[in-house]
Amino acid sequence: MAERIYLFDTTLRDGAQTRGVDFSVDDKRAIARALDDLGVDYVEGGWPGANPVDDAFFGTSPGLKNARFTAFGMTRRPDHSAANDPGINAILSTAADSACMVGKTWDFHVDLALGIPREDNVTMIGESIAYAATRKDEVLFDAEHFFDGYKANPDYALACVKAAYDNGARWVVLCDTNGGMLPHDIRRIVTEVLAHIPGDRLGIHTHDDTGNAVANSLAAVEAGVRHVQGTLNGLGERCGNANLITLIPNLMLKYEGAYETGIDESELPKLTRVSRLLDELLNRAPDRHAAYVGEGAFTHKGGLHVSAVQKDPSTYEHIDPEIVGNHRHIVVSDQAGRSNILSRLTEAGIDVDAKDPRISRLVEDVKDREFEGYTYDGAEASFELLARRALGDLPKFYVMESFRSEVERRFNARGDITTISQAVVKMEIDGQATMQVAEGNGPVNALDDAMRKALLPKYPELEAMRLVDFKVRILTPQQATAAVTRVMIESSDETGHRWGTVGISPNIIDAAYNALDDAIIYKLLRARDA
């Protein structure tokens, strides 16, 4: 019979400690609903009383249907009783179903940070858990720095967690707070703790400072814990937390049915969407190399790999990518052969005979262009347009007759330095000549705006297109300011679809135009075929 593993997400609290991450109340609600829909057991919403956002978020229940809404806080202060501690009452007065309380279990921290007798800290833990258990259905105890504390003084660390367990903690969670442990440390110490606290009351919370957070969590589960904490995409301070997006499929798919979670296998395809939702809310590009859900997780580049994958996907893929909501992707590059090209054409919906002589010419064209500096690894839209041009399957939506882009740096009326960018485009659209002028936040933005002004009357679908990433790389640095430049642009539209394009030129504006031109044409092509 499969052992039940309970999943606890702490993205909205521990993940929010990531540098540059600042969730709004609406962000928290969106993430909480996504986690609840996925099927995790606990959603930790934050720390009531710590900041206005968390106070507002806990003001009303987010209406979770599957997960237990959980509030985080500390055990009581030395100079307060549990019932009169403001921090504890801030947790217990919320709409949360459960309370997770953190306390110190490393004698070094008790001596240095609290400055109280060690036995008083044990009493504080027990009294805090006992009082909270009278107000909430479930109380969890996060044993801060437990593994460091256990290595330094195992008897004291055990006394702390036993105080929580004996006073009614549903879960006693062993925390590798500084992320310094390795799997053999976790396995040994958890095994020893299990002699005092049963596994169905024991949890694990790991950080990724040695790059082992997922491995450490799995080691703890293998040793016997039945509760795992982590964050979406491994979000968290310093190097992050254990990544639930990786842990979930590992637990469900890699142990031959030994474990089950609150997530049904039919829900696993939501993993990729949930992972990318978080990145979208944080306004950052998804990690292409993330296990299971990254764009590159099932990407094949070398021609030999592609041939093998087409015959038997299990050769280079450990699971069917659709199980986790991802998909197989064939990258076209200077290592490409006919297999890559044909597979990518099929993915793009281009029907062509495998023996068509134009395929061989396209393969050579791709290799020649990449030798010049183009890359289609991440610029799939530019490759599709290149292929369609080679096959005579690309309509001419417009003709750019000429464009001019300039930057003026000057003093404004207040005597401050200001920079103004302006672009002028001359285009032919549907047989009609047009000229448009636009200013923008930089020459590329001005050029984009001028092109849109010309194109929108004919192609209103461009209104929803957005440039979401812009990367520049110098390909020939030895040529200094005369170097060849490569520009990569990532765009998106109202459907959430994202596509990459590439341009190269000794002139950065010309390179940017090439990538921008491909991005616009690709959007128009998708709109035509929709």
Q: What's the pLDDT score for residue 103?
A: 98
- How does residue 334 score in pLDDT terms, banded at 50, 70 and 90? very low
| Buried residues in 319-352 as b, exposed as e (16+ CB within 10 A) | bebeebbbebbbbbbebbebbbbbbbbeeeeeeb
- Judged by average pLDDT, the poorest of 349-358, 386-395, 480-489, 492-501 is 480-489
Q: What does the pLDDT average to over 311-324?
A: 81
Asked whether residue 277 carries a pLDDT value surpassing 90, the answer given is no
| pLDDT band for position 302 (cuts 50, 70, 90) | low
**Are 370 and 502 a contacting pair, CB within 8 Å?**
no
Residue 340's pLDDT band (cuts 50, 70, 90): low
Residue 330 banded pLDDT, cuts 50, 70, 90: low
The Cα–Cα gap between 98 and 114 comes to 26
pLDDT tens digits for range 141-161: 999 999 999 999 999 999 999
- State the chain's mean pLDDT as an integer: 91
The answer, yes or no, to whether residue 333 has pLDDT greater than 90, is: no
pLDDT band at residue 110, thresholds of 50, 70 and 90?
Answer: very high
The pairing of strands 6-9 and 227-230 is parallel
pLDDT at 479: 65
- Phi, psi of 263, rounded to the nearest 5 degrees: -100, 125
Whether 301 has a pLDDT exceeding 80, the answer reads: no
Q: Quick check: 50 pLDDT over 80?
A: yes
How much is the pTM? 0.72
Q: Report the C-alpha gap between 469 and 464 in whole angstroms.
A: 16
pLDDT in tens, 359-418: 888 888 887 887 788 877 678 899 999 999 988 889 999 999 999 999 999 888 888 998
Mean pLDDT value across residues 331-335: 54
Percent of the chain with pLDDT over 70: 94
